[in-house]
C-alpha cells in the first residue's frame, strides 16, 4: 500500500477524534496527535484499534505507545503491513 | 481475572528498577508512620469541619471486608468521580483509620494528575504521605510505561490501588460510558488475579462535578466486586475490561437514581 493511501486512511480514522480542526487541515507527518491535534489521550487506544481493523494488522502495546505523530502512525502501519 | 491476555505480572514487577522499588517502599513507610495522625485528621475534617455523614458505616465496612476478604491480594478500587476528595470519602467508607493503620496495604494508592498538585509543596507532601503515585495524562510513552510498571509492582505486592476509570470528574454528573480511559484495563491485563471493587458514591444533592461535596453532605455508597473478562488480547482486552468496569458503575448509578428516597 502506498504511503499516501495509508495517510489518507489514517486521516479518515483520526478526524472524528480531532479537537483542533485548524491543525488537522494543515496536517504534516510531524504533526503530534495529542498536542497539535488535541486528541484525548484515552482515545489514542481507539485510534490504534481502528488502525488494526482498517489495515488488518496487529499492533502490540509497546509499538502503540511509540505513536506520537502522524508520521509515527504511518511508519508503524507500513512496517506492520510489511511484516504481514 | 480471566483475561486471555498474558499475565506478565510477576515478571513486570520484578523488572521495576531497584531504586524505584526502594522509593515506593520508603514512601509507604513514611505514609504508615504519619497515617495515624493524618488519617484521623482527614476523617475529623470530613466529619466535623465539613459535616459529612455516611449512613450505615459499620454495615458498609463489614460488606467491604466480606467482598474483598482478609487475604492480601491485588485489589483495584474503581469509583465514579464527582469531586476532588472522592477517594478520601470512599476510603473512609470502606474501613476505619484503625484498620488502615494496622493493615496499611488496605489503604489504596491513588493516582492523581501531577499537574493538579505538584506546584504546591504542602499538597505534594500530603499526596506523598497518602500513598499517591503521580500520573501525567497524555505524557510521554516512557512515563506511562514507568507508571504502569510501578502500579503492577504495587498490585503484585498485594497493595490496593484506587482508580477513577473515567479519568476525570464526570462533567455532567453521570458516569460517562463513552469517554473513559483504558489504563485500568491495561493494568488488569498485566496483573494476574487482581480483584476489582466497584464503588458508587454520591453526596445527597450532588448534581454535577464540583471541587468539594457540599457541607453536611450525606453520602450514598454502593459497592460490587466484579471479575471483568476478555477473550481478546493487548489493547483490545484493555478496552473490554475497562468498559465492563464503567458499565458496572453505570448500572450502580441507575440503581441509585431508581431508588425513590436515595438513602
CB contact under 8 A, B234 and A60: yes
pLDDT at B20 over 80: yes
Of A34, A58, A65, the CB nearest to B145: A65
Residue B10: which pLDDT band, with cuts at 50, 70 and 90?
very low
Residue B166 is given by DSSP the state: T
pLDDT at B261: 58
pLDDT at B178 over 60: yes
pLDDT at A79: 93
DSSP for B69-135?
-SS---EEEEE---STTHHHHHHHHHS-HHHHHHSGGGS-EE--BGGGTTT-HHHHHHHHHTTB--B
The structural domains of chain A, ordered by start, are 3-83 (1.10.1200.10)
CB contact under 8 A, A34 and B138: yes
The cell numbers describing B43, all together, are 476523617
pLDDT at B9 over 50: no
Q: What is the pTM of this model?
A: 0.88
How much of chain B exceeds pLDDT 70, in percent?
94
Report the alpha-carbon distance of residue B42 to residue B22 in Å, rounded. Answer: 27
B245 touching A, CB under 8 A?
Answer: no
Which residues does chain A have within 8 Å of residue B144's beta carbon, measured at their own beta carbons? Answer: 65
Mean pLDDT over the full length of chain B: 91
B164 touching A, CB under 8 A?
Answer: no
Residue partners of A8: CB distance under 8 A and separation at least 6: none
The residues spanned by each domain of chain B are: 9-258
ipTM > 0.85, yes or no: no
Which residues does chain B have within 8 Å of residue A38's beta carbon, measured at their own beta carbons? Answer: none
B238 touching A, CB under 8 A?
Answer: yes
CA distance A2 to chain B (A): 26
**Which residues, listed in sequence order, are joined to residue B197 by a DSSP beta bridge?**
B77, B225
Mean pLDDT of B207-214: 94
- Which of B13-17, B138-142, B183-187 is the most confident on average? B183-187
CA distance B57 to chain A (A): 35
Mean pLDDT of B44-70: 96
CB contact under 8 A, A42 and B186: no
B81 touching A, CB under 8 A?
Answer: no
Core vs surface per residue B106-143: b (16+ CB within 10 A) or e: bbbbbbbebeebeeeeeeeeebbbbbbbbbebebeeee
CA distance B88 to chain A (A): 25
pLDDT at B262: 54
Report the alpha-carbon distance of residue B23 to residue B30 in Å, rounded. Answer: 11
CB contact under 8 A, B235 and A40: no
Mean pLDDT of A31-52: 92
pLDDT at B56: 95
How much of chain A exceeds pLDDT 70, in percent?
99
Least CA distance to A66: which residue of chain B?
Answer: B141
Of B180, B181, B234, the CB nearest to A61: B234
Report the alpha-carbon distance of residue A14 to residue A50 in Å, rounded. Answer: 9
Residue B201: which pLDDT band, with cuts at 50, 70 and 90?
very high
pLDDT at B103 over 70: yes
Mean pLDDT of A14-24: 95
Which of B81, B136, B138, B237 would best serve as a mutation to test chain A binding (most A beta carbons within 10 A)?
Answer: B138
Cα B93 to chain centroid distance, Å, stands at 13
Least CA distance to B183: which residue of chain A?
Answer: A42
CB contact under 8 A, A34 and B235: no
pLDDT at A22: 95
Report which secondary-structure segment, H or E, holds B60: helix B57-68
**B9-258 under CATH 3.40.1130, yes or no:** yes
- Say which residue, B127 or B193, is predicted with more confidence: B127
Least CA distance to B137: which residue of chain A?
Answer: A41
Which residues does chain A have within 8 Å of residue B167's beta carbon, measured at their own beta carbons? Answer: 42
Residue B45 is given by DSSP the state: I
CB contact under 8 A, B239 and A68: no
Residue B192: which pLDDT band, with cuts at 50, 70 and 90?
confident
Which residues does chain B have within 8 Å of residue A60's beta carbon, measured at their own beta carbons? Answer: 234
pLDDT at B5 over 50: no
Amino acid at each position: 500500500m502506498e504511503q499516501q493511501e495509508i495517510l489518507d486512511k489514517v486521516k479518515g480514522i483520526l478526524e472524528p477524534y480531532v479537537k483542533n480542526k485548524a491543525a488537522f487541515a494543515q496536517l504534516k507527518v510531524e504533526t503530534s496527535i495529542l498536542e497539535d491535534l488535541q486528541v484525548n489521550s484515552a482515545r489514542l487506544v481507539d485510534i490504534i484499534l481502528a488502525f488494526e481493523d482498517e489495515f488488518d494488522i496487529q499492533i502490540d502495546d509497546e509499538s502503540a505507545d511509540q505513536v506520537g505523530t502522524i508520521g509515527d502512525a504511518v511508519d508503524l502501519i507500513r512496517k506492520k503491513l510489511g511484516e504481514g | 481475572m480471566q483475561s486471555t491476555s498474558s499475565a506478565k505480572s510477576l515478571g513486570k514487577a520484578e523488572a521495576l528498577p531497584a531504586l524505584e522499588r526502594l522509593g515506593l517502599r520508603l514512601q509507604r513507610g513514611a505514609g504508615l508512620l504519619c497515617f495515624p495522625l493524618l488519617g484521623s485528621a482527614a476523617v475529623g475534617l470530613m466529619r466535623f469541619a465539613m459535616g459529612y455523614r455516611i449512613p450505615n458505616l459499620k454495615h458498609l465496612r463489614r460488606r467491604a471486608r466480606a467482598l474483598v476478604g482478609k487475604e492480601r491480594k491485588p485489589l483495584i478500587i474503581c469509583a465514579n468521580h464527582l469531586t476532588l476528595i472522592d477517594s478520601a470519602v470512599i476510603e473512609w467508607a470502606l474501613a476505619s483509620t484503625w484498620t488502615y493503620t494496622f493493615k496499611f496495604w488496605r489503604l489504596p494508592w491513588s493516582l492523581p494528575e501531577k499537574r493538579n498538585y505538584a506546584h504546591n509543596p504542602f499538597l505534594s507532601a500530603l499526596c506523598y504521605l497518602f500513598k499517591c503515585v503521580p500520573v501525567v495524562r497524555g505524557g510521554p510513552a516512557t512515563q506511562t510505561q514507568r507508571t504502569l510498571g510501578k502500579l503492577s509492582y504495587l498490585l503484585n505486592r498485594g497493595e490496593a490501588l484506587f482508580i477513577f476509570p473515567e479519568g476525570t470528574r464526570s462533567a455532567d454528573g453521570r458516569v460517562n460510558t463513552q469517554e473513559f480511559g483504558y489504563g485500568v484495563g491495561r493494568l488488569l491485563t498485566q496483573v494476574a488475579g487482581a480483584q476489582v471493587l466497584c464503588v458508587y458514591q454520591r453526596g445527597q444533592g450532588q448534581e454535577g462535578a464540583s471541587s468539594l461535596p457540599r457541607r453536611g453532605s450525606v453520602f450514598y455508597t454502593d459497592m460490587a466486586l466484579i471479575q471483568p473478562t476478555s477473550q481478546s488480547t493487548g489493547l483490545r482486552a484493555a478496552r473490554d475490561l475497562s468498559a465492563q468496569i464503567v458499565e458496572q458503575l453505570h448500572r450502580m448509578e441507575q440503581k441509585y437514581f431508581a431508588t425513590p428516597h436515595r438513602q
